[in-house]
């Protein structure tokens, strides 16, 4: 097998894979269909970077504790560079529920990075570009695969200009559409079965800058890395970022015509001002909008056949990041999982460089280990909030959603107990932040007993959001003429 490692897609997953492979001495060629980012100072270039092929990069992105852990271990220079450019590490233990919260040894991991995605990604791009052995072909869309005559292993890719690029192996980092699977089908190669589960969310985002940025935020970060909540009929959350910038993200059901008006700035602002923990960020004089309201429909949860042992695999072809698995963006795990997957895939290819069945089996097991727990949790959590929101919209009682595994408490029950019990709070946060798989934390007898000890009917702590009717009346009254 000759040629470099070809990485198709130069976004978070592709860039991290290229970085990790190049650092291990592999020659790497990154083929990316969009134009390169602008040159110049990082903050300006990040703001000017147009990403039509990555529409979600215009929306707020959190980097969970898992993402920070991966950067600390694998690319500390990147974490340092981000902070030098204005990103902030947030100490999540500040949101612990009790004054008597005693830190444990692992709690140094309970941090998140407040940064706009394009800024972090630009730093990643520049770090990769500076490495010897990496070449970028921007404006190059891959259209197909070169396969060996028996079509069981990949030999390279074919670009939209018809260029045949030989590859030692090919990494599909093309995002949630996982383009390589379509290329295989086009070549008449049967591919394995994906698992798919709906998400039901329309996300609306607007960015702002604080008028007087300082060490303190305008209000408490009650969620640790965010302020606001996923409420019983909508979500409204502030995500602090770098350099005094923050985003407000409002989530509503895609199928709900009554909340479609939230795209209008006046309705969006009204909803934000009615939302607990969010209002103070946009009080008169506190901040200035930087953008219009941006809308996007979330992709479904998907676990691709490339992350499912027992499904047909093509030797030398690997999927990474969203191309392997997509989890509901409401839970903000995609980038962190992509980073973890990318570095571990590079380790694996370094340890098992021989293309073949053994390498493929190990790669698919790795992909499953990284993604499957989060796919399963996301399926459950998407359904939980989706069914609840739909029931509120229809004025009916929501039906209970079965747990991921029998006996596992729902996230709503864990969250209720976490409001008063710091051990449960720690467990919940470690799951939300990707630090430990849900099974390891939520299936523990000790945690489950503590969750049960908090009465189910206990009213939630803190301010309550508006009812659906109050919200709809207010946003409709602000309809722009
Ligand atoms: C609204 C929204 C909010 C989100 N919020 C968060 C969050 O808060 N935190 C978080 O961690 N994650 C979040 N995510 C998920 C996150 O955006 C993804 O997990 C992440 O972008 C995955 O990175 P990727 O590199 O796998 O794919 P992408 O970022 O989608 O990149 C794919 C790349 O492949 C390129 N490409 C595609 N096809 C070809 C081709 N044929 N040839 C060459 N190049 C090609 C594209 O141009 C692009 O650069 C969110 C997602 C959405 C939709």
Mean pLDDT across 2-19: 96
Residue 369: pLDDT over 80: yes
Tell whether the model's pLDDT for residue 57 goes beyond 90: yes
pLDDT band at 458 (very low <50, low <70, confident <90, very high): low
Average pLDDT over residues 362-387: 96
Tally helices (H) and strands (E) across the chain.
14, 19
Residue owning the nearest CA to atom 42 of ligand 1:
141
Q: Token pair of 238, please?
A: 């502030």
Residue 18 C-alpha to ligand 1 middle, in angstroms?
Answer: 16
- Atom number, ligand 1, closest to the C-alpha of residue 143: 41
Find where tokens 């009650």 sit. 222
C-alpha to C-alpha distance for 274 and 466, rounded to whole angstroms: 7
Tell me the pLDDT band of 462, cut-offs 50, 70 and 90.
Answer: confident
pLDDT band at residue 142 using 50, 70 and 90 as cut-offs: very high
Ligand 1 contacts CB of residue 248 (under 6 A): no
For atom 45 of ligand 1, the residue with the nearest CA is 9
pLDDT, average across residues 390-409: 92
Q: Do β-strands 5-8 and 28-32 pair in parallel, antiparallel, or remain unpaired?
A: parallel
376: closest CA among 427, 293, 302, 286? 302
pLDDT at 481 over 60: no
In the predicted structure, residue 480 carries a pLDDT above the cut 90: no
Percent of the chain with pLDDT over 70: 98
Ligand 1: atom nearest CA of 299 is 53
Q: What is the pLDDT of residue 103?
A: 81
pLDDT value of position 71: 98
pLDDT confidence bin for 239, thresholds 50/70/90? very high
Q: Is 15 in the pocket of ligand 1 (CB under 6 A)?
A: no
For every residue of 326-361, DSSP letters joined together read E--GGG--HHHHHHHHHHHHHHHHHH--S-SHHHHH
Would you say the CB of residue 59 lies under 6 angstroms from ligand 1? yes
Among candidate residues 363, 353, 352, the one with its CA nearest the CA of residue 27: 353
Q: For residue 11, how far is its CA from the centre of ligand 1 (angstroms)?
A: 6
Q: How far is the CA of 57 from the centre of ligand 1 (A)?
A: 7
Averaged pLDDT for residues 326-338: 97
Count of residues making up the chain = 481
What pLDDT is stored for residue 102 in this prediction?
79
Quote the CA–CA distance of 26 and 170 in Å, as a whole number: 12
pLDDT surpassing 90 at residue 152: yes
Confidence of residue 367 (pLDDT cuts 50, 70, 90): very high
Determine if ligand 1 sits within 6 Å of the CB of residue 146. no
SS3 call for 274? helix
Does the CB atom of residue 332 touch ligand 1 within 6 A? yes
Stretch among 217-221, 356-360, 459-463 having the lowest mean pLDDT? 459-463
Q: Is 179 in the pocket of ligand 1 (CB under 6 A)?
A: yes
> Which SS3 state, helix, strand or coil, does residue 98 take?
coil
Give the residues across from 157 on adjacent strands: 145, 165
Ligand 1 binding pocket includes 335 (Cβ within 6 Å): yes
Determine if ligand 1 sits within 6 Å of the CB of residue 334. Answer: yes
Q: Could you tell me the pLDDT band of residue 215, with boundaries at 50, 70 and 90? A: confident
CA of 59 to the centre of ligand 1 (A): 11
> What is the number of other CB atoms lying within 10 angstroms of the CB of residue 105?
6
Best substitution site from 181, 335, 367, 432 to test ligand 1's pocket, by max atoms within 8 Å of Cβ? 335
Mean pLDDT (whole number) for 56-69: 97
Give 136's strand partners.
30
Tens digit of each residue's pLDDT (9 = 90 or more) over 281-302: 999 999 999 999 999 999 999 9
Query: Within a 10 A sphere around the Cβ of 54, how many other Cβ atoms?
Result: 18
Going by pLDDT thresholds of 50, 70 and 90, the confidence category of residue 304 is: very high
pTM, to two decimals: 0.97
Q: Which atom of ligand 1 is nearest to the CA of 203?
A: 1
* Structure tokens that stand for 108 in this block: 């140094």
- Residue 27 has φ and ψ, to the nearest 5°, of -70, 140
For residue 215, the CA-to-ligand 1 centroid distance in Å is: 31
Residue 99 clears pLDDT 70, i.e. is over it: no
- Arithmetic mean of pLDDT, 82-98: 94
Q: Is 434 in the pocket of ligand 1 (CB under 6 A)?
A: no
- For the segment 253-259, the average pLDDT, to the nearest whole number, is 93
Yes or no: say if 95 and 222 are a contact pair by the CB < 8 Å rule: yes
Q: Identify the residue with better confidence: 375 or 214.
A: 375
Distance 288 CA to ligand 1 centre (A): 28
Query: Of ligand 1's atoms, which has the minimum distance to the CA of residue 54?
Result: 30
**What is the distance between the alpha carbons of residues 384 and 403, in angstroms, rounded to a whole number?**
10
Protein residue with its CA nearest to atom 49 in ligand 1: 11
Instruction: Please check the confidence at residue 269 and state whether its pLDDT lies above 60.
Output: yes
Maximal CA-CA distance, the chain: 67
**pLDDT band at residue 200 using 50, 70 and 90 as cut-offs:** confident
Residue 104 in this model has a pLDDT that exceeds 90: no
């Amino acid at each position: 097998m000759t040629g470099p490692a070809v990485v198709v897609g130069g976004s978070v997953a592709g860039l991290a894979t290229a970085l990790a492979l190049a650092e291990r001495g592999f020659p790497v060629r990154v083929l990316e269909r969009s134009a390169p980012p602008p040159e110049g100072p990082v903050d300006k270039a990040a703001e000017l970077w147009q990403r039509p092929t990555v529409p979600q990069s215009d929306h707020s992105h959190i980097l969970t504790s898992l993402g920070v852990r991966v950067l600390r271990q694998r690319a500390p220079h990147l974490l340092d560079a981000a902070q030098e450019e204005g990103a902030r590490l947030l100490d999540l233990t500040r949101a612990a529920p009790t004054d008597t919260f005693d830190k444990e040894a692992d709690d140094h991991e309970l941090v998140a990075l407040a940064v706009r995605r394009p800024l972090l990604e630009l730093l990643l791009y520049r770090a990769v570009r500076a490495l010897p052995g990496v070449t970028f072909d921007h404006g190059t869309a891959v259209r197909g695969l070169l396969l060996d005559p028996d079509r069981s292993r990949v030999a390279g890719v074919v670009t939209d200009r018809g260029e045949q690029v030989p590859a030692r192996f090919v990494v599909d980092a093309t995002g949630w559409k996982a383009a390589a699977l379509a290329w295989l089908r086009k070549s008449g190669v049967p591919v394995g079965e994906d698992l798919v589960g709906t998400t039901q969310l329309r996300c609306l985002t607007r960015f702002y800058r604080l008028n007087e940025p300082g060490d303190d935020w305008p209000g408490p970060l009650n969620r640790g890395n965010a302020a606001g909540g996923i409420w019983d009929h909508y979500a409204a959350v502030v995500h602090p970022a770098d350099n005094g910038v923050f985003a407000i993200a409002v989530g509503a059901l895609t199928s709900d015509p009554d909340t479609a008006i939230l795209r209008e700035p006046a309705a969006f602002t009204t909803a934000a001002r009615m939302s607990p923990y969010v209002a103070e960020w946009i009080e008169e004089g506190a901040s200035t909008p930087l953008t219009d309201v941006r809308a996007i429909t979330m992709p479904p949860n998907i676990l691709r056949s490339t992350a499912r042992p027992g499904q047909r695999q093509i030797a030398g072809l690997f999927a990474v990041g969203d191309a392997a698995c997509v989890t509901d963006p409401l839970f903000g795990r995609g980038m962190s999982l992509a980073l973890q997957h990318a570095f571990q895939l590079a380790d694996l290819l370094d340890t098992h460089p021989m293309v073949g069945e053994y390498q493929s089996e190990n790669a698919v097991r790795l992909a499953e280990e990284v993604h499957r727990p989060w796919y399963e949790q996301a399926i459950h959590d998407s359904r939980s909030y989706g069914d609840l929101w739909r029931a509120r919209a229809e004025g009916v009682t929501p039906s209970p959603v079965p747990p991921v595994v029998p006996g596992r408490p729902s996230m709503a029950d864990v969250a209720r107990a976490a409001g008063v019990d710091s051990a449960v709070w720690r467990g919940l946060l470690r799951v939300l932040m990707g630090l430990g798989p849900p099974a390891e934390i939520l299936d523990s007898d000790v945690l489950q007993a503590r969750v049960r000890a908090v009465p189910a009917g206990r009213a939630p702590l803190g301010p309550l959001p508006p009812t659906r009717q109050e919200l709809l009346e207010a946003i409709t009254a602000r309809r722009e003429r």
